[in-house]
Each structure stands twice: as C-alpha cells, then as structure tokens.
Structure 1
C-alpha cells in the first residue's frame, strides 16, 4: 500500500459484498458461478457448520438433539492458492494472499467476480461493501518497543506502565464522504511458526450503498477506499520502520 515495498507485511487482502435477504439466492448459485470462473478458480471446497436441532414429536414431547451438517460457504481457489472466491448466503468475498499484485489488478479481479455473480442473479440488492487489508509485522521475542513499529501505542501510565505480554485495540473512524467506517485494529498474535507479530488490520466498510448500482460505481468506491486505506497504513507505521519496509531492511 502506498509506494511499492520491497518487504511488505501484507498477509491477506479481501473485498466483501453483502446482499439483502430479498436478493435472489439459492444453493445452486455457487455451482453456476463455478461454471463461469472455474477455469481460473478450479479448486472447489465446502466449509460446513454444525447445528443442534431439537424436533417436536406428535405428542408434543421433544426428541433427542440432532447434529445437522449445514453448508456454510463454498470456496473456489486458484490451484496456486494465491486467490479464492467465497460464496455463502447473500455474501460474496474475493480474497488474495501473497504475492499481492498491483492494486489495479486486484480491483479488476474483484470487478470480474462481482459481474459474474450478479449476472447469475435475476436481481440484487447490495446492503454492504468492505475492503480489508491485514498486515503482520514480525517482532523480537526477546523484547520490543511498540513505538518502533506502530504509531498507535497504548498510553499506560503509573502502575500500569509495564511491559506488554499482549494487547488489542480498536478504533472505528468515520469517513463521511463515503458514509463509511475504517475499523482500525492492532494487537499481538502468535504465528503458526510459534513466533510473535503485531497485527495491523484495516477494514474500510460501508452499509450505506444506495448509490452503488453498477460495476463502474463500485470500482470508484473501491479506488477511494483503497486510497484511504493506504493513507491509514502509512500513518499507522513508525516513519523509520516504513522506510525500512521500502528498502527491504526489516531484520530484527
């Protein structure tokens, strides 16, 4: 985000479209979408959720609880797993993992998938849209100063001014021009490799989307959202650390 970085902390970017329940949707839609984009997103899988159900018998007594396996979402992946499309009732998500392409390439991919999706619906009523960037900043297990990496450091004083073993903070920042909110979250997480990292999660989201009636208007919204996310990303980082990312010099 911003200028090209030789060492990018980005681990995932995604765009989520939410549709009103009145929109045409059924479980045949993921299969029909696969027919249109399966040449690129050829790996198909299903993520299930388990629900407990208690049925009432004819004598008004309750039967034993039953566990029902219910499809939650369908995932369509590229063979190299760099990108995937997720479809669930009234939700469409386009994800991209590293290596991340230029913004224009990802925006065009979002537009392509969205266009294919709405062409399969007799009508659609968009109720929300979000663009989200998740960054992971490695930190030393031997101790670290948050201010070396991020600008939003918890301001603890007095007896609370101690070393942090973990933290999580969230700010919801209003953007009136787009009737949107930037959900800005930072915290410490443990990676799959057992190492520690700072998560910088930037989610630009709007539920007031009456003006987004076609792909041109949606791509304009995405460009503006990306601009604000880029500004927030740079403002969230220590300037010296940001310079190190641009140069590729991030050794701990």
Structure 2
C-alpha cells in the first residue's frame, strides 16, 4: 500500500506502459472504463461545486449535467458467516457529460469519477489506444477538482474495466476464452447455462484486485477492478503516479486471464 510519494513513484517507475504490455486491439471488448477517486473527508458538501467544475470542463463536457443516485450493497457477518444483507444509499453525484453521453465526469462529496463508454478508442486511428484519450481526461478532471475544491488529498484510487466478450455461436464453456473460468467437473453437465463469480486478490503492497466474471447473452462479462488506498493523503502528483500504477496492474491481469482464442475475438493488430 503506497504510504508516501517516494514509495509510489518508485513503484510506478518500474511498471510497464500500456503499449509495452499488450497489443492494440482493433475491436477491444471494453464497454466501460472507470477511474474513481475518494478524497480525505472535507467540509460540508457545497452544491455549487458541480457548476464551478462545469465552468472549467464545459468545453469537454457540453451536455446538460444530470444527477445520479447509487445503491450500496453489503453483507453483515457474524461468527464468520453471513447474517444480514444490507442496502444503503451510495454517494450521490452530478454527472458532466459529452453530447453523445459516452464520456462522463461524476462529482460528489469527496468523490470524483471519470468514465469512458464504448467506443473506448477511435477505430480510425490505429496509432492510439483508448488510454491515450482516457489518461488526459483523468488528469484534466482531477486537476479541475483540485483547483475548485482544494481537497486535503486523496485516500483511495480505483481503476475498473468492464469487458464484454462476444462469442460466436452457442456458449457452452468459458475455459476456451478465460483462464480464470471455473473448471469442468466429471459427473456434472458440460453445457454452461449460467455463471457469476467474484474473487479478490491482494498484492504484497496492499493494493487489491477484484475479478468478476459472468455469462450473459452472447458471451461473457469480465470485470476487473484494481484499488489502491493510502494511510496518508496523496498529493496531486502522487495520485497521478498511482493511477498509472493501477492501470498497469489491470492490463497485466487482463492479459493473464484471457486466452489466445479470446484475443482472436478482439482482432489484435
């Protein structure tokens, strides 16, 4: 877990860049990419802040701002066993959107998120990946938030990629496309009808990776989230370094869990 600027920079310096770790896919499976920041708790929520941020970012997000409400789901454990399912109100956000609603910035109390919906990258520009657009959008949104809100610093950063693998024909098994698929078991039917699973991993430095997979009509969902938290508040510069670090881990995880047959679906260039 990064606890200082020096540690974060040292670790990120050794991470491979996106172009180094994988080929550019001409038809990437990404349906949504999200980068989310949670800031150290500050003063009471100022309802004028979204308007001030819209003034700074309006050229990029000229659509009419809209409100978003979310629901948080949790499980209460007792004696190591789940006892009660809990639903609660999640953080409310105001969303700044582009005219086509494919690029979004969400602003809430002590939280900022940046979203890229499909198409993730320009299909007509083979020299650029979606990250070449996403990373500058993250930087501009974070810098604008820092300028307007003046937070103490960042406590948690998350990078999340939601992918849909569209499979031709009838889907009978996931193992042809995903190395993380559940194994087939002798004595059980071989035809896959439904699938939903989530596992969580922890790196040695405390960064967490959540890997979810599920069967949907026409293929599979592969959802990868990498989350870094800090004991101390991170500066703007350190936060940017952590974003790059988490992105590198997400790409490595993605390439680790897909098979060559899945890569064929994405038309690797």
Shift of 1:146: 1.1
Aligned to 1:126: 154
Shift of 1:80: 2.3
Aligned to 2:50: 30
Q: 2:200 aligns with which of 172, 194, 217?
A: 172
Listed as ranges, the gaps of 5+ residues in structure 2 are 1-17, 72-90, 122-128
1:221-242 CA distance string (max 9 Å, x none):
1222111111111111112321
TM-score by length of structure 1 reads: 0.79
TM-score by length of structure 2 reads: 0.74
Aligned to 2:140: 112
List, as ranges, runs of 4+ consecutive aligned residues in structure 1 with deviation greater than 4 Å.
Answer: none
Aligned to 2:209: 182
Q: 2:257 aligns with which of 218, 222, 236?
A: 236
The separation in 1 between residues aligned to 2:268 and 2:51, in whole angstroms, is 45
Q: How does 1:1-252 map to 2 (within 5 A)?
A: 2-22=22-42, 25-43=45-63, 44-48=65-69, 72-101=92-121, 102=129, 103-140=131-168, 142-177=170-205, 179-189=206-216, 195-208=217-230, 210=232, 212-214=234-236, 216-247=237-268
Conserved in 1, the CA contact under 8 Å of 2:69 and 2:93?
yes
Q: Which has the larger radius of gyration?
A: 1
The separation in 2 between residues aligned to 1:196 and 1:108, in whole angstroms, is 33
Larger RCO (CA under 8 A, 6+ residues apart):
2
Q: Secondary structure at the match of 1:208?
A: strand
The separation in 1 between residues aligned to 2:193 and 2:134, in whole angstroms, is 36
Conserved in 2, the CA contact under 8 Å of 1:17 and 1:93?
yes
Q: Secondary structure at the match of 1:120?
A: helix
Shift of 1:169: 1.6
Conserved in 2, the CA contact under 8 Å of 1:126 and 1:209?
no
The separation in 1 between residues aligned to 2:151 and 2:165, in whole angstroms, is 42
The separation in 2 between residues aligned to 1:86 and 1:142, in whole angstroms, is 38
Conserved in 2, the CA contact under 8 Å of 1:23 and 1:124?
no
Listed as ranges, the gaps of 5+ residues in structure 1 are 51-70, 190-194
Shift of 1:245: 2.2
Q: How many aligned positions are there?
A: 222
Aligned to 1:192: none
Conserved in 2, the CA contact under 8 Å of 1:84 and 1:94?
yes
The separation in 2 between residues aligned to 1:218 and 1:48, in whole angstroms, is 26
